[in-house]
Structure 1
Amino acid sequence: MLLKVEKLTKKFPGVLALDKVNFELESGEVHALLGENGAGKSTLIKIIGGIHKADEGKIYYKGKEIAFSNPSEAINNGIATIHQELNLFEDLTVAENIYVGNIRGNLVNKRQLIKKAQEILSKNKFNIRSDSLVKDLNTSEKQLVAIAKALSLKSKIIIMDEPTASITEHETKNLFKIVKELKKKGIGIIFISHRLEEVFEIADKVTVLRDGKYIGSGNVKDFTQEDLINMMVGRKIEDMFPKYNAPEDEILFSIENLKIGKMVKNVSFEVKKGEIFGIAGLVGSGKSEIPLGIYGYMPAKWDNLIVNDKKIKKIKRPDEALKNGIALVPEDRKSMGLVLELDIMKNIVIQNTELIEKKGILFWNKAKKIAKEEIEKYSIKATSINQKTGNLSGGNQQKVVISKVLKRNPKVVFLVEPTRGIDVGAKVEVYNIINKLANDGNGVVFISSELPEIVSLCDRVLVMHRGINMGVLENEEITQENILKLATGVDI
């Protein structure tokens, strides 16, 4: 047994994060760690990786009891964690990132460093130059740098936290080839993902946590997706993709010849009242830039923009978009949607101050009332309205973003990757919010890289390829095959 966790317990103020949790990992095994946001996954890997200390329980590594006091100690003993938000130095080279913190002596031979790093990259068939600057790499290449760093340290355990959250399907396949090669070398991999289809493709075993408790483990082949979902959420989810909106003929939003730099070229579309309108495309297609341009985050031009029968000439800033009935739930909730250091209450009212302000005075009692109502309305799991949003799970952070955006009662809402990095139960809650939003007479623009979401939820789908609108699919035309054809530049 490479790693064994016995009855691990960890408490934070007001939260029992882990409650007598068990976990085991063999050499040459991919062990998936599953659970909803807030289930305890992150706490467990942070204890294994030396970031947190357990209050109770034991960890055995290669047969010996261990309790690392810091991440460096874990790394030096062969346990590396590749976090979802990669901890790389953007302005340094690949070689420097691989060996930073792992260089002995005071003098660094840069040429030798580049050569040694290239040997690791070539040996593992990583198609990256070791003298490249990290800031010039795409997300999947940066992940390979993080893996190469772990291999340079001769790691026996590599923890991968949501490694496919920000990469394409093609890049995911390449990553899985690398994972299989790491298995052959006897490396044990703890794999965390919210995408169950990936678990069945790459993992040998699975452990499920719920509300900080150990629910069960076993061979992946002995479970179905429904089994794992039931274990994670503690209930049966009847419909993974609920859909009950009813589009009308009235056009709420229309735009003609939208241009955003070289990324979006003369794109036109319209959204009906009560419609869930999808925008799909591969990474770099321009799909994510469309809402940023319309919302005022990026310089954009158009020939004609009409929202709720009102013609809009320009939108230079997000506040102008909001005043015109356009709202955005951004792709990156942590940097664009929330102020992580502020509590839930302040995040909800920060762009809705008119609700609590009178003659220049902010009435915080009213803010508290609004925050409590929103927490209840969206089932946000938190200790109180004063809990920092940075300490919430991903799913609950997303609900706070949605709450503050919808508090403005917009006519058209753009949701960009709204279910990225959140658990199965929270995804269904977001889908229900989207349906209700449409049924309340709004127009919803749903932008996602998850094709099952697009196919199941959308009434019509615009497909982007290299900044161009390849066509709008309707009804039975909306299939994964048709979307992928158009997304790769092939007419259907």
Structure 2
Amino acid sequence: MHGAPTAASAGAVGTVVTRAAEQQVALRLTGIDKSFPGVRALDGVDLTVLSGEVHALVGENGAGKSTLMAVASGALAPDGGSVEIAGTRLTGASPDEARDLGLAIVRQDPALLPDLTVAENMAIGVGHRRVGGIHRAVAWSQARLDPWGMAIDPRSRVDELSVEQRFVVEIAKALALEPTVLILDEPTEHLNLDEVSRLFSRVREIVAGGAAVVYISHRIPEVKQISDRITVLRDGSVRGTFSTEEVDEAQIIERAIGRKLEAVFPPKGSEIGSVGTDEVLVVRGLQGEGFHGVDLTVRAGEIVGLAGVQGNGQAALLRALAGLAPAEGSVSVQGEPVPRGNLAARRSGIVYIPADRHAEGVFMSLDVAENISAATLPEVAGAGFVGTRRVLTRARQQIEQLGIKTPGPSTMVSALSGGNQQKVVLARTRLAAPRVLLAEEPTQGVDAGARVDIYQILRETADSGAAVLLLSSDGIELQGLCDRVLIMSRGRVVEELTGDEVTEAAIGRAALMSTQLRDRRDADRAGGFRRWIRGDHAPALVLGALLLLLGLVVSATNPAYLTPFNLNNLLFMAAPALFVGAAQQVVVLGSGFDLSVGPLMGLLVVLSSFWIVEGGNLWVGLGLMLGGALAVGLINGVLVTAFHVNPVVATLGMSMALQGVYLALRSTPGGIIFPTVSEWVQARFGFVPVVTVVAVAVLLVLELALRRTRWGLRLRATGSRADAAARLGIRTGRVRLGSYVLGSLLVLPAAVVMMAQIGIGDGRPALSYTLTSITVIVLAGTSIFGGRGSFLAVLVAALLVQQILNVSPLLGLSQAWSYWLPGLVTLAAALLYALARRGGLPSARRRRATTVAPGGRS
């Protein structure tokens, strides 16, 4: 290893001065300070990036790279210092302002909204004006995604894409901005060699056009390949800026981690004789979604690699072995068959390290110590109670042994860098003492120093007698760690490399010669239908068919069903359900909830009974109703957005308060509504009530706005993933506040209809409409977590609910059926939607999930 590159530093400084004189400064960060609880992330950082250059930023996990770029992009406010983009100072923490100044960023954790389509994500990310309007988003996005050859359909939801496809969407979105400054934070972690090559070509194109690129990566060979200059960060401080030509990989790593790396990879088990003869993991004829006919064995003390072009079943195979995906075939550990399911796999000694540590690896709401002991709680518990002292003691041991950078074991794991979070996962894995370790991309997004530590942990696990199956897209990693490498193609193991054959070149050649990348369209031949059945509008058609079928059955049984009187009554009674269903839908789409819609209806009816009566004033009454609706919506919204009160708690409190208010105003029903007003509200075209026509029109307008306006996209974006929406410049608090106000305003016409129905000031009949609104949105297939739903489905669901209530007497059913039928239909619909969105019915899933024990017995 080489010493510190002091000579290179001097040369680099001279290069910087020369180039700065010739090139314009595209990005300048001066004296940036940033601290978090217990951590000083950045300490007086200066960084100058010139136009027409690729400036690499390297350092260990936790060095401050991503934090620095979050400050540069306006996503995070610094404690001190300034940011200048193309000579203009960023005035505050505003992603919109940074984007307007010409800065685009591709983050390690893509700022994508899972419930929105690819086209909608790209339109929000680059701005509707650049796309040419929402109606052009699909074609515009397709043109920018096609060059990547990933077969990404812009109409697909982001949550339907693979991890690598999501990163390509994020990269394509950033490149479409034609930025002055482009920040790429670990952009190649999920890309194969061909996709990396395309990315580098695009980077060179925009640099040739005068833009600046800040390139963050732990893959030092890539840094050397693409960058012009390199700045090293360590412990939140700059440790030097160098010309790429004047430093080698060893010098970069040494500066980044602050120590020499004597050996990157530990000796292999096959080299030192630690590989035993016992076959720990034996797989025969395993098949599932994405792979089939897989046979493999892994012996004690052996690390076996899985390689191949991405998309050929490697990840699916690993997840099936971990019991996380259905599969058929035989899996045994130390001669004992492994039943299906993740819990059974864990009991058999199979431990899985997921590639996506944020979603599956760590518990973000728990601290470091709790995460480390999560898989081995019986060992730190007595009489059913977890011993806090034991948890902390074990955590401190693991923190010291693995070099986890954390202020202490009680620090929330969400406050750690990605690499240190991965070490927490590995600490938990070590304590579980696995017989079989399944590691999927264990060094993804991890710095050079941490990689060495992880390699040592994997080797120690194997040397202890475990079988290790490693999936990695890094050929050098496979070469350095693995005793054998299995090449997968089109879901099958097609080649095995052993001994001296295990080289990066041989692995790459075998992967490319065995197959071309599986056409991603093959995995979804019925993509259009599947996308539709999982879409927001499918429930409307299903419910519509049920509505029609029920109507035909009832009309055949009782002719009174189709009389104008009954149809008018059905549609008029459905009008309030249409309005309150729309009100609840608006709030839920923004990831909220409103339990006060029924009591608000009651309050508005009671208010009307003081003024919309003989001797009163219609306009004063309507004004009071409007004011009451606005006030309730504002209070609910402020409680949720400004004071961060849970929506259920806030609106439950409001619900009880409103009941108290209208009972205080009228403890008994009173105030006869002016008959003329009731007649106006009950006006009709033939047998169709005017108010029902108005309600349907309102729902159609809301559906159009939801899909075709910025308000609709922002509402769904906020409900889908609020943190990502905020990073994209959406003011999520304002959006959610607006949803509560609009929801309350939609309750107002429902109250007017009820006022005409009961004709007197009584708030109690409105209470049931809270449950009605929830029933309607559940039937409509709306996600109660936000981001997904259709007002068309709400329309049909509300009509169906009212139809069920209407037909019970016509069928001669008891009053109990008016409760049983909506409940049964709601449960059936919820189950059907859940199965459809997961991709199959139970029978099909069981057929795929059957695990066959040795000897062919099920």
1:141 to partner: Cα distance = 5.2
Aligned ranges for residues 404-483 of structure 1 at < 5 Å? Answer: 404-483=428-507
Q: 1:54 to 1:90 in 2, by over 3 A?
A: closer
- Residues of 1 paired with 2:97 and 2:506: CA distance? 50
- Could you tell which deviates more after superposition, 390-399 or 130-139? 130-139
Task: Look up the equivalent residue of 2:293 and give its one-letter code.
Answer: N
Aligned residues of 1:17 and 1:39 also touching (Cα < 8 A): yes
Aligned residues of 1:470 and 1:489 also touching (Cα < 8 A): no
Aligned residues of 2:287 and 2:294 also touching (Cα < 8 A): no
Kindly indicate whether residue 420 of structure 2 is the aligned counterpart of residue 396 of structure 1.
yes
- 5+ residue gaps, structure 2: 1-24, 516-858
- Residues of 2 paired with 1:335 and 1:41: CA distance? 22
Aligned ranges for residues 57-456 of structure 1 at < 5 Å? Answer: 57-100=81-124, 102-103=127-128, 110-114=134-138, 121=144, 131-133=154-156, 135=158, 142-150=166-174, 153-245=177-269, 246-303=273-330, 305-308=331-334, 310-312=335-337, 314-456=338-480
1:365 to partner: Cα distance = 2.0
Q: 1:272 to 1:242 in 2, by over 3 A?
A: same
Q: Going by fraction, where is strand more abundant, 1 or 2?
A: 1
Q: 1:171 to 1:117 in 2, by over 3 A?
A: closer
- Residues of 2 paired with 1:370 and 1:3: CA distance? 45
Q: 1:144 to 1:334 in 2, by over 3 A?
A: closer
Once the two structures are superposed, residues 35-66 of structure 1 have per-residue CA deviations (whole angstroms, 9 ceiling, x without a partner) of 00011101110111112222223333333443
- Residues of 1 paired with 2:485 and 2:153: CA distance? 41
Normalised to the residue count of structure 2, the TM-score between the two structures is 0.54
Task: Look up the equivalent residue of 2:389 and give its one-letter code.
Answer: N
1:385 aligned counterpart, secondary structure: coil
- Residues of 1 paired with 2:437 and 2:255: CA distance? 33
Task: Look up the equivalent residue of 2:278 and give its one-letter code.
Answer: I
- Residues of 1 paired with 2:215 and 2:196: CA distance? 13
- Residues of 1 paired with 2:284 and 2:484: CA distance? 19
Q: 1:376 to 1:295 in 2, by over 3 A?
A: same
Task: Look up the equivalent residue of 1:299 and give its one-letter code.
Answer: P
Q: 1:218 to 1:385 in 2, by over 3 A?
A: same
Q: 1:67 to 1:235 in 2, by over 3 A?
A: farther
Q: 1:486 to 1:357 in 2, by over 3 A?
A: same
1:133 aligned counterpart, secondary structure: coil
- Residues of 1 paired with 2:432 and 2:115: CA distance? 40
1:247 aligned counterpart, secondary structure: coil
Report the aligned-residue RMSD.
2.5
1:389 to partner: Cα distance = 1.2
- Residues of 1 paired with 2:161 and 2:396: CA distance? 43
Aligned residues of 2:289 and 2:316 also touching (Cα < 8 A): no
Aligned residues of 2:281 and 2:436 also touching (Cα < 8 A): no
- Residues of 2 paired with 1:113 and 1:324: CA distance? 49
1:146 to partner: Cα distance = 3.3
Q: 1:292 to 1:180 in 2, by over 3 A?
A: same
1:110 to partner: Cα distance = 4.1
- Residues of 2 paired with 1:155 and 1:165: CA distance? 22
Q: 1:58 to 1:110 in 2, by over 3 A?
A: closer
1:433 to partner: Cα distance = 1.0
- Residues of 2 paired with 1:329 and 1:376: CA distance? 21
- Residues of 2 paired with 1:126 and 1:443: CA distance? 37
- 5+ residue gaps, structure 1: none
Aligned residues of 2:106 and 2:170 also touching (Cα < 8 A): yes
1:290 to partner: Cα distance = 2.2
2:328 aligned counterpart, secondary structure: coil
- Residues of 2 paired with 1:370 and 1:307: CA distance? 28
2:351 aligned counterpart, secondary structure: strand
- Residues of 2 paired with 1:203 and 1:51: CA distance? 25
Aligned residues of 2:355 and 2:442 also touching (Cα < 8 A): yes
Task: Look up the equivalent residue of 2:336 and give its one-letter code.
Answer: K
Larger Rg: 2
Task: Look up the equivalent residue of 1:391 and give its one-letter code.
Answer: A
1:24 to partner: Cα distance = 0.9
Q: 1:140 to 1:300 in 2, by over 3 A?
A: closer
| 1:28 aligns with one of 35, 38, 52 | 52
- Could you tell which deviates more after superposition, 213-222 or 471-480? 471-480
Structure number with the bigger relative contact order (C-alpha 8 A, sep ≥ 6) is 1
Q: How many residues align?
A: 484
Aligned residues of 1:53 and 1:69 also touching (Cα < 8 A): yes
1:237 aligned counterpart, secondary structure: coil
Q: Specify the alignment match of 2:67 in structure 1.
A: 43
Q: 1:224 to 1:268 in 2, by over 3 A?
A: same
Task: Look up the equivalent residue of 1:133 and give its one-letter code.
Answer: S
- Residues of 1 paired with 2:157 and 2:452: CA distance? 36
Q: Going by fraction, where is helix more abundant, 1 or 2?
A: 2
Once the two structures are superposed, residues 360-416 of structure 1 have per-residue CA deviations (whole angstroms, 9 ceiling, x without a partner) of 222222222222222122221111111111111122111111111221212221111
Aligned residues of 2:282 and 2:297 also touching (Cα < 8 A): yes
| 1:19 aligns with one of 2, 22, 43 | 43
- Residues of 2 paired with 1:391 and 1:11: CA distance? 11
1:350 aligned counterpart, secondary structure: helix
1:216 to partner: Cα distance = 0.7
1:112 to partner: Cα distance = 4.1
- Residues of 2 paired with 1:117 and 1:268: CA distance? 41
